[in-house]
């Protein structure tokens, strides 16, 4: 193994390879910071470029894009309350409030360092434990996926905001929206209205951009008032620097993030989108001061961002160890590996010389480049906030259009985006929240299709959902967490009614 | 607390929409696959739950609105009208941008959208009315330059550099 | 009548305009519509071909992912565009299955097919610890109680092929649709289904590592990549199908443009610059042009239509 790493090191430590990784990382950072443009897009664009390169350089470039995009999603989430990918939704919960307090630089500094720690930790986990974790992921059948999605849906209670009932309604709206399209089991069209674009259902991306970016811009336009521009909250640029010590002080949040990313991230299909939400949920639940979450509290940012880059390592586990990509980005990456003649699977970990170690090291190097580029750019990112409001609003909308149109090239997605934008605006305004909608959209299809797939393959028998060990574990935890939330809510409700009137 | 008739109205909207969705779901075809639930099962369940949960929300929000009603609203109406005008303006502008996106091509549609958006906000927010002629000229020119530069730069960077095809 | 008129109009435009435009084709960059998001088999196929085609044509090839509706959105966009050779489509079986399922307002007759470039077989595979050692034992077991077979989504070509396998072999298969090939593969590896039917490229790494074992392929004769795996045909079932990928254009493509493209693809095939990539991706170079290609497409469409049978609307 040591000699393998030495061979791998030899492949990585070449000028061409290092430049390729740096270039990939830079492109990933740019793409990831624009709402809607995803790491999958960045990797696909780089794919033809990597053909002529030696394998480790080519794969390193693609991994750089993956890593860069994973980290830079936090930039718009923190500065503008706009998550560019589902996995940075949770970054907005504490990142944006902190930025609103004028500490955007601190939030970014925490996010960058947490991303870096998450990425490096997940690389270590990937290199040591990939095969056993991949085997664990294989034990997920319909029953386990169903229970996992129920476990995930309980998170709605955590992100619901003021009213649990309204948060639940928002989640159900998202879930209902996810049933639009061709039925996954029978193939019947549901609510498709003969629209070709709806045959495969509502795309997550336009919904996400609409619910978060467009709704936020609409809120800002409503509140737009050039007369009160001289507010006190001048953004301090001098505090914008990477925050190693502060991040380390919240090491528990880092560990929670890394664990969530590495355990939930490898589950194909579900993991990537919810790992960071799981991390946020767990960190908050086991925190001594859960009230501080949502107000710009450092551990909230740290756990989410470390989960965010740890889940990339997590997602690479089934991709490399089994050849099973979990979502779009790793699917493109898999294509890139295969074109290079690298066949992922258990054999990759056994032979092919230093190849697999070269890939690990390239991923590690990508994390360092990510840290470097983000640290150099941090003061630049903050300048976004000094752009005059009206120009900024117009520019955000222009980029939303590019993100939504650029990925699938379908104008229908723009209609969806605007529809979800208006819906999201009202949901936020009337305390329903938009994060539960996204959770419903992501987890709804997993819950529905796996319940029905399970019933189909168990021939109508419900018991396996409650007897298979992993499945029942998730269900028990889900019910426990739900009960805990209800109890906490009940107690908090009592306290509020005791001191009625303090209000919003 | 602000008085907002929109709150109970939105609950009412959810109530009606979920009822409509439930009715639409009952029209879905029934297909029998051994053990499987029908394709209509989840849509019916979900819309039914939304309907049920929306009822208490409506009652609560309506009562709150009713109670606040008696207290005089301190918010000056002028500000509200202006805000809503800005909001509606941007939504309508977005619809126009969307429709023009592929028909007029990226650069023209984006430049006009950006120009209208920036200038429209200047006018609607009331700044325009306070400006002298020279300042107005500057606003228009500024918006024009900003719109043109943004549209062309973005088109060049994405279409040519990143090879993400945009409508020409 | 309306259709005839529009056909006439199209023919007229290209009779008049065709010559002038095709002489020095291409004079600007060519759009290639990939009707799927980045990362699918179709997308990887084209992106791998992109630099080679650009070299041959001397102009840049812009890949446009127009995804949605299982390919329907991108294909209908291709049908609606000008047949001037500047908008082409990365075509595959998906077109024929969409047609067979009756979900879309176009058929393969609305396209001019330029070339088929690669193909791969559909493979019936089982987990490494499966009790089924060969096709016969699986078919036999499936005559008593249904065998769970995973594939990609309802209406995908793999799903329709699985349906065709059930019809032709008489086996009772409990077809379980997964959202995509990778989910089906992991279900087979984890023992959640008894077998899978998927394209060879998707199954390649699983088969190579021995986690899954192939029982039969839908090629007409045994291929080089899996020489030990029998075909359905030699096992006595009349089932020959393949997953093909190629290039198509909206109907009415000028002949000169078509010739230019056929020459470019032929050159790439001949000089072997794509062969290794194709093999790495788990596909086989199997170029087909002109009348043979049209006959092939017609035949495949017929098989798909029949296989979709009761699934279609």
- The nearest CA of chain A is from the CA of B137 a distance in Å of 17
Q: Tell me whether strands A181-182 and A189-190 are parallel, antiparallel or unpaired.
A: antiparallel
When the pLDDT of each residue in chain C is averaged and rounded to a whole number, the result is 87
Q: Which domain holds residue A62?
A: 2-224+258-489
Which residue numbers of B have CB closer than 8 Å to C's CBs?
34, 163, 165
Asked if C182's CB is within 8 angstroms of A338's CB, the reply is no
- The nearest CA of chain C is from the CA of B34 a distance in Å of 9
Instruction: Give the chain B residue nearest C66 (alpha carbons).
Output: B165
Asked if A226's CB is within 8 angstroms of B35's CB, the reply is no
Find out whether A337 and A66 touch, Cβ atoms under 8 Å.
no
C-alpha Rg value of chain C to the nearest Å: 20
Q: Would you tell me how many other CB atoms lie within 10 Å of the CB of residue A422?
A: 16
Position B78 confidence tier, pLDDT thresholds 50, 70, 90: low
Cα atoms in the 13 Å half-sphere on the side-chain side of A42: 30
Asked if C39's CB is within 8 angstroms of A328's CB, the reply is yes
CA A260 to chain centre: 12
Q: Which domains does chain C have, with CATH numbers?
A: 2-120+243-311 (3.40.190.150), 122-217 (3.40.190.10)
Q: Count CB pairs under 8 A between chains B and C.
A: 7
Asked if A187's CB is within 8 angstroms of C101's CB, the reply is yes
Q: What is the pLDDT of residues B101-152, one digit of tens each?
A: 989 999 999 999 999 999 999 999 888 888 889 999 999 999 999 999 999 9
C62 interaction partners in chain B (CB closer than 8 Å): 163, 165
A318 interaction partners in chain C (CB closer than 8 Å): 186
Does residue A231 lie in a domain region? no
Position C17 confidence tier, pLDDT thresholds 50, 70, 90: very low
Question: Cα dist. A297→A287, B90, B164, C4 in Å?
Answer: 11, 33, 37, 68
Asked if A187's CB is within 8 angstroms of C155's CB, the reply is yes
Task: Check CB contact of C81 with chain B, cutoff 8 Å.
Answer: no
Does residue A253 lie in a domain region? no
Provide the pLDDT for residue B1: 45
pLDDT tens per residue across all 504 residues of chain A: 677 788 888 888 899 999 999 999 999 999 999 887 888 888 988 888 887 788 899 999 999 999 999 899 999 999 999 887 888 899 999 999 999 888 999 999 999 999 999 999 999 998 888 888 888 888 889 999 999 889 888 888 777 777 889 999 999 999 999 999 988 888 888 998 888 888 888 988 899 999 999 999 999 999 888 776 545 456 666 778 888 889 999 999 999 999 999 888 887 766 667 888 889 988 988 888 888 888 999 999 999 999 999 999 888 988 888 888 877 788 889 888 888 888 787 778 776 667 888 999 999 999 999 999 999 999 888 888 888 888 999 999 999 999 889 878 889 999 999 999 999 999 999 999 898 998 899 889 889 999 999 998 888 889 999 999 999 999 998 898 888 888 877 877 776 666 554 433
In chain A, the number of structural domains is 1
Does residue A131 lie in a domain region? yes
Asked if B34's CB is within 8 angstroms of A456's CB, the reply is yes
**CA quadruple A261, A262, A266, A271: dihedral, nearest 10:** -20
Neighbouring chains to A with at least 3 Cβ pairs closer than 8 Å: B, C
Find out whether C259 and C88 touch, Cβ atoms under 8 Å.
no
- The nearest CA of chain B is from the CA of C64 a distance in Å of 6
B34 interaction partners in chain C (CB closer than 8 Å): 174
Provide the pLDDT for residue C70: 82
Q: How far apart are CA A287 and CA A290, in angstroms?
A: 6
Does residue A415 lie in a domain region? yes
Neighbouring chains to C with at least 3 Cβ pairs closer than 8 Å: A, B
Cα atoms in the 13 Å half-sphere on the side-chain side of A337: 26
Does residue A503 lie in a domain region? no
Provide the pLDDT for residue A304: 94
Does residue A308 lie in a domain region? yes
B165 interaction partners in chain C (CB closer than 8 Å): 31, 62-64
Task: Check CB contact of A418 with chain B, cutoff 8 Å.
Answer: yes
Has the ipTM of the complex gone over 0.90?
Answer: yes
Q: How far apart are CA B73 and CA A154, in angstroms?
A: 38
C31 interaction partners in chain B (CB closer than 8 Å): 165
Find out whether A189 and A178 touch, Cβ atoms under 8 Å.
no
> Left, alpha or beta for A460 (phi > 0: left; psi -120 to 50: alpha)?
left
Does residue A504 lie in a domain region? no
Q: How far apart are CA A441 and CA A211, in angstroms?
A: 12
Does residue A354 lie in a domain region? yes
């Amino acid at each position: 193994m040591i000699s393998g790493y030495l061979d791998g090191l030899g492949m990585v430590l070449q000028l061409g390879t290092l430049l390729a990784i740096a270039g990939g990382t830079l492109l990933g950072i740019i793409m990831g910071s624009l709402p809607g443009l995803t790491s999958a897009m960045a990797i696909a664009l780089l794919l033809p470029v990597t053909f002529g390169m030696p394998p480790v350089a080519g794969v390193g470039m693609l991994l750089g894009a993956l890593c860069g995009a994973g980290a830079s999603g936090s930039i718009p989430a923190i500065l503008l309350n706009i998550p560019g990918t589902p996995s940075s939704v949770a970054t907005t919960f504490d990142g944006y409030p902190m930025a609103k307090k004028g500490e955007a630089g601190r939030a970014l500094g925490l996010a960058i360092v947490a991303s870096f720690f998450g990425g490096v930790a997940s690389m270590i986990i990937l290199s040591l434990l990939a095969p056993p974790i991949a085997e664990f992921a294989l034990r997920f059948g319909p029953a386990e996926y169903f229970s996992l999605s129920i476990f995930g849906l309980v998170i709605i209670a955590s992100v619901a905001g003021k009213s649990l009932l309204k948060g639940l309604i928002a989640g159900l709206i998202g879930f209902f929206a996810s049933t639009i399209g061709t039925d996954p089991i029978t193939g019947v069209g549901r609510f498709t209205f003969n629209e070709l674009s709806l045959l495969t259902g509502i795309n997550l991306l336009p919904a996400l951009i609409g619910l978060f970016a467009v709704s936020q811009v609409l809120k800002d336009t409503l509140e737009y008032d050039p007369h009160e521009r001289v507010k006190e909250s001048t953004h301090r640029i001098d505090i914008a620097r990477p925050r190693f010590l502060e991040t380390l002080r919240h090491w528990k949040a880092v560990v929670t993030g890394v664990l969530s990313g590495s355990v939930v991230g490898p589950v194909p299909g579900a993991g990537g989108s919810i790992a960071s939400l799981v991390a946020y949920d767990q960190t908050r639940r086991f925190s001594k001061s859960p009230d501080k979450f949502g107000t710009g509290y450092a551990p909230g940012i740290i756990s989410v961002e470390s989960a965010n880059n740890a889940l990339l390592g997590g997602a690479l586990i089934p991709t490399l160890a089994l050849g099973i990509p979990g979502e779009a980005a790793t699917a493109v990456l898999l294509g890139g590996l295969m074109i290079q003649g690298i066949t992922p699977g258990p054999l990759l970990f056994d032979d092919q010389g230093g190849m697999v170690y070269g890939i690990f090291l390239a991923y590690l190097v990508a994390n360092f480049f990510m840290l470097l580029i983000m640290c150099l750019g941090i003061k630049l990112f903050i300048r976004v906030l000094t752009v005059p409001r009206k120009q900024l609003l117009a520019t955000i909308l222009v980029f939303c259009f590019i993100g939504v149109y650029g990925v699938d090239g379908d104008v229908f997605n723009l209609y969806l985006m605007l529809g979800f934008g208006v819906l999201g605006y009202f949901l936020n305004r009337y305390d329903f929240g938009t994060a539960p909608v996204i959770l419903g959209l992501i987890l709804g299809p997993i819950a529905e299709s796996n319940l029905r797939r399970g019933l189909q393959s168990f021939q109508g028998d419900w018991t396996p959902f409650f007897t298979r060990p992993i499945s029942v574990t998730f269900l028990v935890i889900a019910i426990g967490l739900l009960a805990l939330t209800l109890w906490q809510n009940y107690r908090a409700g009592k306290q509020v009614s005791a001191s009625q009137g303090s209000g919003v | 607390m602000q008085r907002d008739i929109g709150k109970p109205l939105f609950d009412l909207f959810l109530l009606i929409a979920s009822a409509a969705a439930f009715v639409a779901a009952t029209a879905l075809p029934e297909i029998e696959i051994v053990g499987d639930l029908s394709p209509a099962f989840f849509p019916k369940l979900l819309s039914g739950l939304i309907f049920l949960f929306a009822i208490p929300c409506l009652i609560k929000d309506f009562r709150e609105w009713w109670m606040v009603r008696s207290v005089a609203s301190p918010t000056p109406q002028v500000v509200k009208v202006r805000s809503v005008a800005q909001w509606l303006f941007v939504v309508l502008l977005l619809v126009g941008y969307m429709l023009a996106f592929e028909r007029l091509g990226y650069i023209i549609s984006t430049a006009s959208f950006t120009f209208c958006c920036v200038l429209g906000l200047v006018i609607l927010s009331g700044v325009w009315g306070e400006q002298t002629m020279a300042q107005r000229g500057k606003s228009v020119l500024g918006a024009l330059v900003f719109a043109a530069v943004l549209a062309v730069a973005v088109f060049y960077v994405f279409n040519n550099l990143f090879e993400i095809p945009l409508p020409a | 009548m309306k259709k005839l008129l529009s056909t006439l109009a199209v023919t007229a435009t290209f009779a008049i305009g065709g010559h002038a435009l095709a002489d020095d084709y291409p004079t600007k960059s060519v759009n290639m519509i990939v009707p799927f998001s980045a990362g699918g088999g179709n997308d990887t196929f084209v992106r791998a071909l992109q630099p080679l085609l650009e070299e041959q044509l001397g102009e840049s090839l812009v890949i446009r992912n127009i995804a949605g509706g299982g390919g329907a959105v991108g294909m209908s966009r291709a049908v609606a565009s000008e047949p001037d050779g500047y908008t082409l489509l990365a075509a595959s079986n998906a077109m024929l299955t969409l047609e067979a399922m009756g979900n879309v307002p176009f058929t393969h007759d609305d396209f001019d097919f330029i070339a088929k470039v690669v193909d791969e077989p559909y493979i019936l595979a089982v987990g490494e610890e499966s009790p089924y050692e060969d096709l016969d034992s699986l078919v036999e077991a499936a005559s008593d109680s249904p065998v769970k077979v995973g594939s990609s989504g309802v209406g995908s070509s793999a799903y329709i092929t699985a349906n065709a396998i059930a019809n032709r072999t008489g086996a009772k298969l409990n077809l379980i649709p997964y959202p995509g090939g990778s989910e089906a593969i992991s279900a087979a590896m984890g023992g959640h289904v008894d077998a899978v039917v998927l394209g060879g490229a998707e199954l390649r790494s699983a088969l190579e590592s021995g986690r899954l074992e192939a029982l039969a392929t839908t090629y007409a004769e045994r291929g080089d990549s899996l020489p030990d795996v029998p075909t359905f045909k030699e096992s006595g079932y009349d089932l020959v199908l393949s997953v093909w990928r190629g290039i198509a254009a909206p109907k009415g493509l000028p002949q000169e443009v078509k010739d230019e493209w056929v020459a470019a693809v032929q050159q790439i095939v001949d000089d072997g610059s794509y062969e290794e990539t194709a093999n790495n991706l788990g596909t086989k170079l199997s170029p087909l042009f002109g009348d043979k290609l049209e006959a092939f497409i017609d035949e495949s469409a017929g098989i798909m239509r029949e296989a979709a049978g009761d699934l279609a609307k």
